[in-house]
Amino acid sequence: MFLSKIVSSSVLTGLFMVFAAQGQTLNTLHAFSKNELGYQPLTGVLVGSNGAVYGTTLFGGASNIGVLYGLVPPTSPGGAWTESVLHSFSKQVGDAQPSGPPLFGPDGALYGLTYESVYQLKPSGGSGKRVETVLKVFTGLNGDAQNATGALVFGSDHSLLGTACAGGPAPYPNGIVFRLSPPAAPGATWTETVLYAFSGYLGDGICPQGGLVIARDGTLYGVTKYGGLYAGTAFQLSPPAAPGEPWGESILYEFGSQPGDAGLPNGVVLGPNGVLYGTTMGNTNSRYCSNGCGSVFQLSPPTAPGGAWTETILHTFTGDPGNDGTTPTSPPVLGPGGVLYGTANAGGGSVGPDGGTGTIWELIPPSSPGEPWTYTTLYVFTGGLTGAFPNAVTFGPDGNLYGTTTFGGGVSGNQVHNQGTVFQFVLPPAPVR
């Protein structure tokens, strides 16, 4: 019998519904408690085609270094979601604390990152558990990765692509972009290739952050949190013209390079016409954030070959009490009509960022080029049963947003039950364009 838990009816009756001022609905699907079933999720989730939700926690499990969990929808409307622990991370070599959300592979297995490894979880009969295979253990030695974080992506050849905040050749182990290629024969060893190692000098970055996005032609895009000449970079990696040749790296933008600019980027998403969208944790100071409250930015490709990419700040977070959030820690997601959705990890409270526990926000593109985007705070987290400090959100097959909070989910102040949530946010109807 696999380990599972149905949320107590004393905490949730079916779905715990919370209504924001704008009328949208937040449904708490699961509330974590401090036990072996996992607690304190620190990343977003993966939503399957059947509506099941998968994610990881920072703590809990047999070794208290996290679990990979699954949440199965109720069989009847208003019923409780059922949590199952699909894998409990251990202290064995390579089976370390998870550092990113899981990813479905073409074979139906789940793939993911720990700070020390890349793992695969395959179903094990009808038990509900999954069998783990560690595909790669990072050593941090001889140019290998160290502190792997973010989401993995699959390349066209079924290889896994990811980033590590540290690692690379001495004396400047400032992070790498890596590829893990599957073996020709089942059960053989996956092959790691370092596609690019950051030097931190001459405008190059330090500590790639938030994973990668991949374009149809195989070009990779990402950001470094630090480095460049200022406060992080956006970069592009182009596939080689011939096998065995190096990938070509280009720095698209150096954050903090102009007054009022953003800094400390979290990652990017790829929009129409090659436009990149992302968030930063810092920017110019505000009355509520001495180091900056963060921003949402757009990077537009040049109109002519060889030209410069153009940055546009779409929204600057202010931490204004009762409305705007602060400090987004994950990139946005792109919805229908080019609308951006995301979270701010703090702020939105009645007494500034110290009294708020995060928001869900929306940015609607303008009807005419050059006009400002329309920003709306869709939901303000208040702690307690509603959750506190949201992480990344993603779309489910029903067109709604799914995500996690690191804390909250219990009676306010109860440290045993106040250990994070998984939520669904029902979006308003798409704007008519």
Instruction: Determine the straight-line distance between the first and last CA of the chain, rounded to whole angstroms.
Output: 51
User: Which residue's entry shows tokens 């992302």?
Assistant: 278
Q: How far is CA 335 from CA 23, 154, 270, 330, 427, in A?
A: 19, 21, 12, 16, 11
At residue 402, the pLDDT reads 97
- Over residues 301-330, mean pLDDT: 87
Which residue has better confidence, 121 or 12?
A: 121
Considering only CA atoms, give the Rg of the chain: 21
**8 Å CB contact between 210 and 266:** yes
Closest CA to 110 of 125, 92, 131: 131
User: Which residue's entry shows tokens 């400047």?
Assistant: 172
DSSP-derived secondary structure letter, 100: S
Burial class of residue 389, CB neighbours in 10 A (0-12, 13-18, 19+): buried
Confidence of residue 349 (pLDDT cuts 50, 70, 90): confident
Instruction: State the number of CA atoms in the 13 A half-sphere of 65 facing the CB.
Output: 14
3-class DSSP state for residue 7?
Answer: coil
**8 Å CB contact between 27 and 427:** no
Confidence of residue 313 (pLDDT cuts 50, 70, 90): very high
pLDDT tens-digit readout, 181-234: 999 888 789 999 999 999 887 778 899 988 999 999 999 999 999 888 778 999
pLDDT tens-digit readout, 362-409: 999 998 888 999 999 999 998 888 899 999 999 999 999 999 999 988
Considering the entire predicted model, what is its pTM?
Answer: 0.90
DSSP-derived secondary structure letter, 120: E
Amino acid at 231: A
Structure tokens at 150: 């973010």
d(CA 317, CA 327): 8
